[in-house]
Structure 1
Amino acid sequence: VELMGLHEWFYACSCVQIRNWFDYRNHICIVFEKLGPSLYDFLRKNSYRSFPIDLVREFARQILESVTFMHDLRLIHTDLKPENILLVSPDTIRVHDYKIPIRPPKDGSVFKNLPKSSAIKLIDFGSTTFDHQDHNYVVSTRHYRAPEVILGLGWNYPCDLWSVGCILVELCSGEALFQTHENLEHLAMMEKVLGPLPKHMIARADRRAEKYFRRGLRLDWPEGAASRESMKAVWKLPRLQNLVMQHVDHSAGDLIDLLQGLLRYDPDERLKARQALQHPFFTRCHRRCGY
C-alpha cells in the first residue's frame, strides 16, 4: 500500500491474491485465496438466467478497475472471459424471476439465484504479456477475441476492452454474444451486431485473413458460409441496441453507449479502461444513488 496510491491499491484488490507457492516434485504450485464460482459457472448453474443490470454495473466497475490496474503496469491480460472472473463468496439468495430464461430449467422453476455479494476477483494471468513483447500471435478465447486479432493486425491493450464489452453483454443476456468457432462466421456476426468492418482495417488484413473478403472490399458473406446452420446463426443475431433493450429494463441507454465504446472495431478508437470507468453508466448511478 505504501508503494501505490489509494486508487491503485483499490483497483488491485479486484485481482486474485497469491498467498504462497511451493515446489512439489519439480512442479511449481501457487496458493491463492479461496474464492467462489466463476461468473460463467454461476450463469450455467442458474439455467443461463441473466444478472440484474445493477449487479452487472458492479461487476463491470470491478472488472474495469482490475484492467486499469494491469494496464497501468503495462500488462495485457489477453484472456478476459466470465470463466476467469470469480465471485469472492459462494453465498447466494433466491429471488423470483420475472423473465423467461433463454434456456428454461427442466423443473419449470420461476426462481433464480443471485450472488449475496457483488465482490469479484480477476484470475488466470497465465497468458498475460507486457506491452513491449511480441503481439502477432493469436490471443483470447474465441468468443471474446477482438477483430484486430482475427485480421492479423497485431494487438495491444484495446483487445482487453473488446473482451470486457463481450462479457458485459453476456452478463446482461445470459449467453455469449458471439457463439462461433470459425473466423468468417465470427466476423459476419460482428457485422450483424455492430455494422460493417472499417475499410482501412480490411485493407491491412494479413494474408491469412484475406480469404475472408471478396476482392479485398467486403466480407465474403453469406457466399462463403460453411453451412445453412452457420447462416442462420448469423441471421438471428439482433443489432447491439436491440439486444441490450431485450434484456435491460433501465440504464439501457447508458449501457448501450458504453458498449459501443468498448466494441469499436478500430482499437485506436476503443475506450480505454480508465475512460470507461468515467462513463455515465457508472457516474450517473453515483449521482442518482448518492454513493
Structure 2
Amino acid sequence: MFFLPLQDLKPSNIVVKSDCTLKILDFGLARTACTNFMMTPYVVTRYYRAPEVILGMKYKENVDLWSVGCIMAEMICHKVLFPGKDYIDQWNKVIEILGTPSLEFMNRLMETVRNYVMNKPQYPGVSFTELFPDWAFPSESEQDKVKTVQARDLLSKMLVIDPESRISVEEALHHPYIHVWYDPTEADAPPPQISDKQLEEREHTIEQWKELIYDEVMDWEERNKNGLMKEDCSDVASGSASQSSSANDISSMSTEHTLASDTDSSSIDTLTGPLDESQ
C-alpha cells in the first residue's frame, strides 16, 4: 500500500456529495512517502494537531489518524474534543482527557520539552466509555454491520498520544468498523504517476495554473468513471458540463470556523526559554 501524510485533515477540508462520496480537499501540506519527511510544526489546524507535532517530534503516516480520531469524535459529540487556545493549552487539553503519557514516550522527547511535560500534573485520563457513551451513537439493530463498540474501539486506537502505540493506517483500514467499506482494488492501487515531472518547475500565470488544475481534475473524473488510463481518454473535456453541475452538489462537513491562529506554526519545542504556560 502507498501512504503519505496529508498533515491538515480537519472538517473544513472534507466534503461529501449527495451520493455520500467523500473527498479530501487541500493537499498543500501533504508530504511524499519517503524516509525523511520535511518536518515542520506548521501542519494541521491546532484542534486536530497530533501530540508528536505539538511536541516537535518526528512524525509518520499515522499522524493523520490522530486527526481522523479528532474529527470522528467531533461528529459523535458535536463539539471539538481538544479546543486548545494555543499550542500549550492544546497539549494540556490532550493530557487532561487522555491522561499523562508513559515514561517511555517522555524519554523520546527533547530535554527541554521532556522537562516541561514531566513537570505537569499527573492526569489519569477519562475512559472512552465516558467520553463516548452509547447514547451518543445511532441506535443499533441486529442487522447493523457496524457497532457502537467497534466505533469506540477504533477511536481508542486512533486517539493515542504515543504514535508508536497508535494504530497504523493499514491496521485502521482492516479494523472491523472500517473493513465493511474496505475495497482492496482501491487500497492496493498503485500510486498516481506524474506524467510531466517538469510541470511544477516551469513558470505559469495564475490563469494557466487554474486551467492546468481544471484539466487534471476533469481527466481524473473521466478515468475514474470509465476505468481508462489517461492516454485512452479521447476527450477529457466532454464531461465538463455534468461535472460542473455536480460541483454544486458538494457540501462541507465543517462544524467549526477556522481562525488564522488555529494554524499557528508554534510547537512546544520552538521555545528557547523556560517552558511555562504564560508564553
Contact 1:79 1:141 in 2 (8 A): yes
Higher-RCO chain (CA-CA 8 Å, sequence separation at least 6)? 2
Contact 1:201 1:266 in 2 (8 A): yes
Contact 1:78 1:128 in 2 (8 A): yes
Runs (5+) with no aligned partner, structure 1: 1-71, 90-116, 223-233, 287-291
Q: CA RMSD in A?
A: 2.8
Partner-residue secondary structure (3-state), 2:15 = strand
> How far off is 1:262 after superposition?
1.0
Distance 2:171 2:37 in 1: 26
1:259 aligns with 2:162: no
Contact 1:192 1:239 in 2 (8 A): no
> How far off is 1:120 after superposition?
1.5
> How far off is 1:219 after superposition?
4.7
Distance 2:54 2:77 in 1: 24
Partner-residue secondary structure (3-state), 2:23 = strand
Contact 2:76 2:136 in 1 (8 A): yes
Deviations 1:179-204 (CA, angstroms, capped at 9, x unpaired): 00233332232223222212122122
Instruction: Find the counterpart in structure 1 of residue 103 from structure 2.
Output: 199
More strand by share: 1
Partner-residue secondary structure (3-state), 1:121 = strand
1:118 aligns with 2:20: yes
Distance 1:284 1:76 in 2: 24
TM-score by length of 1: 0.52
Q: 1:174 to 1:203 in 2, by over 3 A?
A: same
> How far off is 1:208 after superposition?
5.5
Instruction: Find the counterpart in structure 2 of residue 244 from structure 1.
Output: 132
Distance 1:78 1:284 in 2: 26
1:128 aligns with 2:128: no
Which amino acid is the alignment partner of residue 128 of structure 2? Answer: L
> How far off is 1:149 after superposition?
1.2
Paired residue total: 172
Deviations 1:17-39 (CA, angstroms, capped at 9, x unpaired): xxxxxxxxxxxxxxxxxxxxxxx
Q: 1:280 to 1:153 in 2, by over 3 A?
A: same
Instruction: Find the counterpart in structure 2 of residue 7 from structure 1.
Output: none
> How far off is 1:125 after superposition?
0.4
Which amino acid is the alignment partner of residue 77 of structure 2? Answer: S
State the percentage of identical aligned residues. 30
1:175 aligns with 2:79: yes
1:137 aligns with 2:40: yes
Partner-residue secondary structure (3-state), 1:86 = strand
Instruction: Find the counterpart in structure 2 of residue 278 from structure 1.
Output: 174
Distance 1:240 1:183 in 2: 24
Runs (5+) with no aligned partner, structure 2: 141-146, 183-279
Which amino acid is the alignment partner of residue 77 of structure 1? Answer: L
Distance 1:134 1:274 in 2: 19
Contact 2:84 2:91 in 1 (8 A): no
For 1:183-222, list aligned pairs within 5 A. 183-207=87-111, 209-210=113-114, 212-213=116-117, 218-221=118-121
Q: 1:188 to 1:241 in 2, by over 3 A?
A: farther
Deviations 1:117-153 (CA, angstroms, capped at 9, x unpaired): 4222111001111133444321211111111111222
